[in-house]
Amino acid sequence: MASSETIEPAAGVDGPTWVYDFADGSRGMRALLGGKGANVAEMTRLLGTGRIPAGFTITTSACVAFLGERPHAYPEGLSRQVDAAVARLEEAAGHRLGDPRDPLLVSVRSGAPESMPGMMDTVLNLGLGDRSVEGLAERTGNARFAWDSYRRLLQMYANVVHGVSGERLEAQIADVKRDCGAALDTDLDVAALRELARRFKALYREHTGEEFPQDPRVQLDGAIRAVFESWEGERAVHYRRIHGMPDDIGTAVNVQQMVFGNKGETSGSGVAFSRDEMTGAPEPSGDFLLNAQGEDVVSGMRNTQDLADLVRIMPAVHDELIGALRTLERHYGDMQDVEFTIEEGRLFLLQTRTAKRHAQAAVRFAVDAVAEGLLDRERALLTVDPSTLDALLHQTIDPAFGGAPIATGVAASPGAAKGAVVFTAHAAVEAAARGEAVVLMRPFTEADDVAGFHAARGIVTSEGGKASHAALVARGMGRPCVAGVASLDIDVEAGEVRLKATGEVIARAGDLIALDGSSGAIMTADVPLVDPPQNACFDTVLGWADELRRLGVRANADTAADAARARSFGAEGVGLCRTEHMFLEADRQPGMRALILAESDEQRAAAVARLLPVQQADFEALFDAMAGLPVTVRLLDPPLHEFLPGLTELEMQVERERAAGDAGLADTERLLERVKALHESNPMLGTRGSRLGILHPGIYEMQARAIFRAARTLRERGAEPPQVEVMLPLIAYEREIELMRALVERVADEEAFDRSELSIGTMIELPRACVIAEQIAGHADFFSFGTNDLTQTTIGFSRDDAEKALLGAYLDAEVFDRSPFETLDTPGVGRLVELGCEGGRRARPGLKLGICGEHGGDPDSIAFFHAAGLDYVSCSPFRVPVARVAAAQAVARELVAAEPSAASSAAGSAPIAAVSAAPSSAPSA
């Protein structure tokens, strides 16, 4: 069972307790009662039963047990406990479920431990039938209300419980409205609603072969089962994939006495936020509808009214609602999202939850909450979702633009972009040279496409996900990216983008395309883009984070522009400079190819002489941007074949040149032979990293010389040089690091570089290196865990290949609930990181420890790195603010956990700068 709550038998109950009355729960039971059930129970305790309709919650554990049965079945004792809970609810309400004269009606709603708005199912007005609808009409004196409630039950029950198409049901409403000349649903009279109920029952009978159940207990069982099963529905599963939520926690079911917003113009339903959900401004916001139930507000079928209008229509209700919002916000210490119903002038609150909000609203709330004394800084930081913060750094689509996307994929790198469609990196480079804005569209991307990433304003792929090559490189370069747009067929050969469903061509080379990497939307309209405004609250939150966090935050940066951007975002150095990206630029590739193809010492020396000043200039610019800060330069890592044309491409070129009698055939054949010689079946586990340096030491010598000369040149100019750190990649054996360190130190001596100003370390990216870290540390000044490759080599996944099909299948099969390339696999890869830390510091207690994989920008992984005792994380420039806040939250959680009884209003207590935390010992996985 996934729930962390202990399920003890209640008094008088044999076996586990599957059902809790609202009055018996609390917000501390979230894992068991779900977010909605726990919060309704808490509201009941806080505000009393007068404002909160009574009810009960069926636990998430019951859902897990139900879904674990094949076929699905209630766990032992659940049916009896539901019967008992219904009886208690009937006694409290003074009405009986199914009473033909005065029926009790209930809603049945989902409620997972983590909010999943709109992803699972709801049934309202349950308990009505052909006889009780007449009794309800007579008792209330409002036949229209009674029949409107019945048709809603019929519509929702048919759709949710038995899968009758929503379109077919809506078509019946449209037909009836047309027949009686009604513009809105609220214009339908009693006769029209009776006719609609008749039509819905006929559809139900046609679809199921049965009559609509008149027994409310049968209705209730059907609704409970439907909510349980909606946990496995496609939209709920997809939502959990996007948000990294586990599949095995289940949803609770909340059965609550109905209150009615559809009783006329003194009734209504709405959603209210304790503050503005887009800006975070302290004024409450929201929407409501008169003479409506809650589903009308969220469905979008009717235009809502602004919450501010309620003060004019029902001033007393408005004041009561605002007071309740303030009370709930103070109690929960966070911005609240509240669903409410007004029944004939009386306010009822149906649920509350932490409001989902834009990053702009999140930082505004945090700052205001501290200023108001609502929260201290630590708790205020914990209200911010750090993964959303990079949205504050990128251009966005103007919020006033209302166009709909033509397709949607994975939001892989935030920001918005637009430009002409290109299908190759070469075309992107050429177009950018002409000053044209382009968007690179490909089925997937490879290392050869890096130049195109530099040139393009944005990247779109039809395959892959958040951890694909396209996503990783795009985030590192700050380019917006939408990956895995499965509904698009990106045909590079034909130069067309088509909708897979219809075959319609939506774009050709040169056509305008726009993307929003924050939402995953693809558009063909000329969307207006706006720059993010300066945000003082964001700066304040980042300042708090820097005062609190223990982990340092560096950036992965390969160019001076990347480094300058990262520094402006608060990076404290470069944790990874990937020198291979410098050689993948179009003007650098000829020199690199000449070095690879050299057949004599003289040719190699000439190629090195050509590359050395270019590499030195790159380092000078990078070092200048990071003056005074540490810069970790990784020597060449990828296999040499990545700098040469592809084998198949060259073989075809040879055939073409041979057939044409081309004068350059001999050179092309020589190149082909060299490519064949370098070809490896599994190059990522082949001749790369320090293996390359041992076999071809001239490359590493050239790079080391360029590093030292660049640092010396800056010093000679009077500029402050960086703290130079040389990183040796792919070390598996102690002797490898001995040999490579000796090479770097020799070059440093030849260049008269002061060794006291030099650190030499290694990237830990192989399981063997983690296991023998104690031996390796004897020759290293620092370790930097390369968790991208460490994940690949530990699990045996090829990241890009796994992204295409395997990861999705594994997520569906619940092998894991999040991609290990997005969030660190802590039991496996994380345990190796811990072993590496422990072994390294046994040999060298002061060993500096960092991480430079993509996980360095993932908040959940950062929490692990904090606990493991690392000194810093390094991530892509646009993730630097995310990492700063996530690192501070790791400390804040420890402080809050250590003082559980501390008042949440301690904003003016000890200065945050005085708080410190020693490195935690590494926890077991």
Alpha-carbon distance of 503 to 537, in angstroms, equals: 47
- Asked if residues 797 and 822 have their Cβ atoms less than 8 Å apart, the reply is no
Alpha-carbon distance of 394 to 743, in angstroms, equals: 42
Contacts (Cβ under 8 Å, ≥6 apart) of 390 = 414, 878, 879, 881, 882
Position 382: which residue type? Answer: L
Q: Which residues are catalytic, by number?
A: 469, 852
Alpha-carbon distance of 807 to 804, in angstroms, equals: 7
Q: HSE (CB half, 13 Å, CA atoms) of 553?
A: 33
Q: Which helix (H) or strand (E) holds 746?
A: helix 734-750
- Residue 287 pairs in a beta bridge with 271, 306
Helices (H), 52-165: 60-68, 78-93, 132-140, 143-162
Contacts (Cβ under 8 Å, ≥6 apart) of 87 = none
Q: How far is CA 310 from the centre of its chain?
A: 36
Q: Please list, residue by residue across 299-334, b when 16 or more beta carbons sit within 10 angstroms of its beta carbon and e when fewer do.
A: eeeeebbebeebeeebeebbebbbebbeebbebbbb
Q: What values do phi and psi take at 545, rounded to 5?
A: -60, -40
Closest of 317, 321, 314, 269 to residue 293, by C-alpha: 269
By three-state DSSP, how is residue 20 classified?
strand
Tokens 């050299």 sit on residue: 598
Q: Which helix (H) or strand (E) holds 401?
A: none
Q: What values do phi and psi take at 126, rounded to 5?
A: -70, 135
Please give the sequence-ordered ranges of beta strands (E in DSSP) within 380-425, or none if there are none.
396-397, 407-408, 410-413, 416-422
What token pair was written down for 373?
A: 């004394």
Alpha-carbon distance of 560 to 572, in angstroms, equals: 15
Alpha-carbon distance of 915 to 896, in angstroms, equals: 12
- Asked if residues 835 and 554 have their Cβ atoms less than 8 Å apart, the reply is no
Closest of 634, 624, 480, 616 to residue 556, by C-alpha: 634
Alpha-carbon distance of 387 to 244, in angstroms, equals: 12
